[in-house]
Structure 1
Amino acid sequence: QNDIFRSIHPTHSISAKGKYAKKITETHHIGNKTYGENSPWAKIIELNGKFLGIGINLAWTTQYHYIEDIMNDKFPIKVKIDKIYKIKCKIDENKYVDVNVQPLDSDVAKTRIEKNPFIHNYLWDIFRKLNVLNLGKIGKANSWWVNAKEFCDILKKLAELGITIYSTKKELKKKKLYPFEKIKDQFVL
């Protein structure tokens, strides 16, 4: 279809449709960050877009990695392996471009949000208390949506405090970052 655009990326290609579809997808392959400033996630934030989850919880979305890429070395833990792979991607019939990919570290991912009900529930609680998580139904599916910039600003603030999608309850209790009442003064409620 002529009105659907797809980003050029070997591991996290995104399709978009609508008024800003081309803008959201056209620079994904530029630079060395899958989720960085040229990514569709960054463009959605710039355009004051929304993230929508239909029939999924907060664990199964990828915008968390945007914070890791934007913060780079300031992110509280190292989440990627050191090696950067150059992957050839076809951009049209006879033209290819090298896209840099730096994979996530599988050891770090062992406590990531989709395997860690504690951090999922804690983040859910934080976003609910900060009134950024909007709940509803689409058909029969439980759904949620957030303003992309607001959501990512909070994720960045949490990361600056030391709270990430990889955090464990033991770790956050030790750092006095759990429960939410211990950090709520860091946010305007």
Structure 2
Amino acid sequence: MYSKDNLIEHLKTMGIDARGTLLVHSSFKSIGEVEGGPDTVLDALIEFMKEGLLILPTHTWKYIDKDNPVFDVQESPSNVGILTEKFRKRPGTIRSEHPTHSVSALGKGAAELVQGEYKHDTPCARKSVWGKIVDLKAQVLMIGVDLTRCTFIHGIEEWVDIPGRMTDSHEALFSVLHTGEKIEVPSRRHCGLSWSHHFWKVDEVLEEEGAMSKGTFGNAESRVVDTEKTTELLTELLEQHPDLFSDNEPLEEKWRYYFQRKQSKA
């Protein structure tokens, strides 16, 4: 059974920057038995990042749609796991006001990070939280989940403007803000296939190029993604190969060693 101190030590071992910015995707069950359950996991993350900025997704895309269009920043539950739902209720956290892809943040710069998210008409706009974490040189910690759960990669596809990823038309969604004001947020959504199910294809490339490392958090195999390096690598790969995530087959060899060949020619 893991204690808070055990989990903090695992964060240190994985090379998390305690004074930087950390976004966490998670599967609580994957961690194994923890003294105190989910709250202890959050205690460990919060204590470790007390001098930095901690972010967890609190998405509502699963149930906020044209048939149920009103997101309430205070009341709408997260649909991406127990840790995220408990975190948004922690004292001091600030939740962003995007109707489908909100996050909750705690620490230095949290208010600036989440400000004005309801102004974006797509889930992962470059000027949204998902782009700001690149500018902050953030790390993304994937606890017990792989790259298929990495919302940030959706953002890179959006910024490169890969065809077929977003609806052309807008849904009339609404956000009830922290002030209580209800704002209409016309929103384009992810569409078509579940493209994120194919993100696993770049796991080895990111690791080999130093954009991602692996470790353990409790029992959970975990990934630490460097947002700046990953954006640089995947932007170039997607510009050269826009269909990169259009199928679920392993990465073709000509793309598998793309960066190694590029470096050898330099």
Other-structure match for 1:129: 208
Change (3 A) 1:6 1:138: same
Contact in 1 for aligned 2:142/2:222 (Cα 8 Å): yes
TM-score, normalised relative to structure 2? 0.59
Deviation of 1:166 (Å) = 2.6
Structure 2: segments with no counterpart, 5+ residues: 1-89
| Structure 2 residue 106 is matched with structure 1 residue 17 | yes
CA deviation map 1:84-108 (0-9, x unaligned): 12312111454122223111223x3
Structural RMSD (CA): 2.5
Residue 184 of structure 2 aligns to which amino acid in structure 1?
A: D
Change (3 A) 1:152 1:182: closer
Contact in 2 for aligned 1:27/1:38 (Cα 8 Å): no
Residue 220 of structure 2 aligns to which amino acid in structure 1?
A: A
Q: Secondary structure at the match of 1:38?
A: coil
2:190 to 104, 107, 122: 104
* Larger CA Rg, structure 1 vs 2: 2
Measure the CA separation in 2 of the matches of 1:83 and 1:113. 21
Which 4+ runs in 1 deviate beyond 2 A? 163-170, 181-189
% same residue: 21
| Structure 2 residue 223 is matched with structure 1 residue 147 | no
Contact in 2 for aligned 1:23/1:43 (Cα 8 Å): no
Deviation of 1:2 (Å) = 4.9
TM-score, normalised relative to structure 1? 0.80
Measure the CA separation in 2 of the matches of 1:93 and 1:129. 46
Change (3 A) 1:54 1:21: same
Measure the CA separation in 1 of the matches of 2:97 and 2:263. 37
Structure 1: segments with no counterpart, 5+ residues: none
Measure the CA separation in 2 of the matches of 1:12 and 1:31. 10
